[in-house]
Amino acid sequence: MTRRSLRARLALAAAGSILIAVLVAGLGLLTLFERHVERRIGAELVAQVNQLAAATSLANDGELQVDPLPVDPRFAVPLSGHYWQIEDESGGAIDIGLLRSRSLWDTRILLPADRLEPGSVHAHVLAGPGGQTLLVRERLVLLGEGTRAVRLMAAMDSRELTDARDAFAADMLPYLGLVALVLTLAALVQLQTGLTPLERVRRGVAAIRSGAAKRLEEGVPDEVLPLVMEVNALLAAREEAVERARAWTADLAHGLKTPLSALSADAERLRAQGNPVVATDLEQLAEGMRRRVDRELVRARVRSGAATARARVEVVGAIGRVVGTLKRIPGGEDIDWRIHAPEQVHVALMPDDLLELLGNLLENAAKWAQSKVDVHVDVGPEVEISISDDGPGVAAEHRHRLGERGVRLDERKDGSGLGLAIVRDVVDAYGGTLGFDSAMHGGLVARVRLPRASA
């Protein structure tokens, strides 16, 4: 199943939005710059036309004259892209050698046959010499007390506009890239800040799972608060269900004790009446039922404990308590108990479940040990507890059956075969592992790996 990252999707959406915004902003700036340059060119051309109008007059012989000539040196360079021209309103050139700029050389700009009002300025885009496209400003002027109408024109090559626009775009592009980068980084920081409450919720759930906390903290933004409240409500409902299950198992245990005790009492009476065979059968039946009931009660408790927030329980202290109890039973005081464990090692189990696990493993080791039992605790990502004895051990081909319900590989010792099965139930409920191997002294070693409690 493909995993979908909310962070990646939001980052991609932010980057796409920023890219579109930067492109739109760049196009907008480029358009504004082009319009600004076009207005400046238009204003410059109008100023040149007005300069021509001020310098144009009729001589005594009725001929037109321009005095002084425009001083812009670009008008003197052939095909420079800067031109001026004066012609009759009818379109006929007047004194061609004098009334056009030197930059036009031997060409003439053909003006459109539009109707002009005296003093008004028209704008055109016309073809010029050398394949140029010209931006033109034209004005109609009346000379000689209104008896002579002439058209004054100033023009500029449009490439100056496009060159200025392209240069501006080239200068603007790196800055737009920098702006896009800064905005993207800012969006990523904002995204990280926005997702921080969800990370806090994740850490809170992990703390609940490890037993370091029981509820999620509600000091989160309003958008995340409903999620936190729902999770806390779910946890409360689970705890309530677990408590009901525990109460039910306690009632069940109490309810079964009475008939089992009565069955044991009946066995004693039968033995006293001279029926030892029947009495023994009843006692074995009662003991088997009691052990199976105990196992089911342990399984129910373990499952309910694993379903709730796990407590931190210290391993060495629990081992010491179990060993202390075993030393007080017959045969336990004769065993050399050796415990090799660092201090303050915690596992993520309920205390009663760890005691149940250790009790069954250590009791089994004591049952088969000849003289000593070694307990080693190693700490890594998980906590490994190794319990070995110097007894007869178990053949390799039979070890895989250890921990199966009711399996007894040696009938010489008392027992129901349920102890290691209970251990496996506890280990499985908490996500641990259980394995068996040959001990260094020829006995059996049981290795249990349990989840380590977070600090």
Q: Which residue has the higher pLDDT, 395 or 100?
A: 100
- What confidence score (pLDDT) does residue 5 get? 82
CA terminus-to-terminus distance, the chain: 34
| Mean pLDDT confidence for 55-72 | 80
Residue with token string 């029947």: 278
309 has a pLDDT exceeding 70: no
Read off the tokens for 430.
């908490």
Instruction: Show which of 130, 157, 184 is a domain's final residue.
Output: 157
Together in a domain, 324 and 445:
yes
Question: Per-residue DSSP letters for 353-394?
Answer: HHHHHHHHHHHHHHHH-SSEEEEEEEESSEEEEEEEESS---
Three-state DSSP class for residue 170: helix
Among 307, 303, 311, 357, smallest CA distance to 210 is for 311
Cβ–Cβ under 8 Å, residues 118 and 140: yes
Q: How many structural domains does the chain have?
A: 3
Q: Which run of H or E residues covers position 450? A: strand 444-451
In this prediction, residues 164-174 reach a mean pLDDT of 94
- Asked whether the beta carbons of 144 and 64 are under 8 A apart, the reply is no
Q: Are residues 300 and 394 in the same domain?
A: no
User: Mean pLDDT across the stretch 3-19?
Assistant: 87
What average pLDDT is seen over the chain?
Answer: 83
65 and 106 fall within a common domain? yes
Q: Report d(CA 429, CA 302) in Å as an integer.
A: 7
Cβ–Cβ < 8 Å for 392, 412 = no
**What whole-number distance in Å separates Cα of residue 168 and Cα of residue 34?**
9
| Residue 220 forms part of a structural domain | no
CATH code at position 113: 3.30.450
DSSP string spanning 82-100? EEEEEEETTS-BSSTTTSB
156, 85 in Cβ contact below 8 A?
no
Residue 31 has pLDDT above 60, yes or no: yes
Model confidence at 243, in pLDDT bands (50, 70, 90)?
confident
Distance of CA 157 to the CA centre of its chain: 56
What pLDDT is recorded for position 412?
A: 45
Q: What percent of the chain has pLDDT over 70?
A: 86
Residues 100-123 have a mean pLDDT of 86
Q: Region 364-374: what's the mean pLDDT?
A: 88
Contact 450, 427 (CB under 8 A): yes
**Range 349-360 average pLDDT:** 88
Pick 6 or 42 by higher pLDDT: 42
Distance CA 139, CA 118 (A): 7
pLDDT interval class at 98 (50, 70, 90): low
Distance CA(424)–CA(447), nearest Å, equals 11
Q: Which of 284, 307, 330 is where one domain is finished? A: 307
pTM of the model: 0.57
Which is higher by pLDDT, 134 or 279? Answer: 134
pLDDT, mean of residues 9-18: 91
Among 190-194, 211-215, 399-403, name the one with the lowest average pLDDT: 399-403
Peptide bond into 68 cis (omega under 30): yes
Of 120-129, 291-300, 389-398, which one has max mean pLDDT? Answer: 120-129
Estimate to the nearest angstrom the gap between the alpha carbon of 271 and the chain centroid: 72
Query: Residue 445, SS3?
Result: strand
Distance in angstroms (rounded) separating the CA atoms of residues 79 and 76: 9
Domain that holds residue 119: 58-157
> DSSP string covering 102-119, please?
GGGTT-----------TT
Residues 437 and 342 in one domain: yes
Minimum mean pLDDT range among 225-229, 299-303, 414-418, 420-424: 414-418
Residue 92 inside a domain? The answer is: yes
**In which band, very low, low, confident or very high, does the pLDDT at 276 lie, cut at 50, 70 and 90?**
confident
Which of 307, 336, 369 is the C-terminal boundary of a domain? Answer: 307
Confidence (pLDDT) at 212: 72
Q: Is 188 within the bounds of a domain?
A: no
pLDDT higher than 80, residue 202: yes
pLDDT of 97 above 50? no
Distance CA 435, CA 448 (A): 7
Residues 447, 321 share a domain: yes
Residue where the block lists tokens 């990370």: 199
d(CA 53, CA 151): 9
Max mean pLDDT among 132-136, 287-291, 407-411 falls in 132-136
Q: pLDDT category, 95, cuts 50, 70, 90?
A: very low
**Tokens found for residue 218:** 């509600």
**φ, ψ for residue 372, nearest 5 deg:** -150, 155
- Is 204 part of a structural domain of the chain? no
Report the percentage of the chain scoring pLDDT > 90.
31
